[in-house]
Amino acid sequence: MLIKRPPPAPAGAEAETKPRDAITELLLGNGHEVQAVGPSKTVLAAQKALVKLGFVLKPDGVMGATTRQAIERYERDHGRASRGELTPAISRLLSAESGVPIN
């Protein structure tokens, strides 16, 4: 499959000033460093706490969609706004309720 690219801008033409997203910047190599996202001990502990509280997910230390959904459900179950983020407040609640230490 051939991908057609637009012709280069004439000499002296101003560059396009459209905002670019992070992926475009990364692909263009505009000085952004790539950071590997790996397992987190904090996320792993929160996942173990969620499992202990009856949520179904695989504790792997990675903050994926299933973990976010479990946190959202936990927040809703506790009358909180569901954001799906592992905040310090949610970590404290999970730890207190499950008995699993979360740092």
pLDDT 10s per residue in the chain (103 long)? Answer: 566 666 666 665 555 556 666 666 666 665 545 455 679 999 999 999 999 999 999 999 999 999 999 999 999 999 999 999 999 999 999 999 999 999 8
Task: Quote the pLDDT of residue 103.
Answer: 85
- Name 18's Cβ contacts closer than 8 Å, sequence gap at least 6: none
- Name 34's Cβ contacts closer than 8 Å, sequence gap at least 6: 26
Q: What is the pTM of this model?
A: 0.65
Task: Quote the pLDDT of residue 38.
Answer: 79
Of 34, 57, 35, the C-alpha closest to 47 is 57
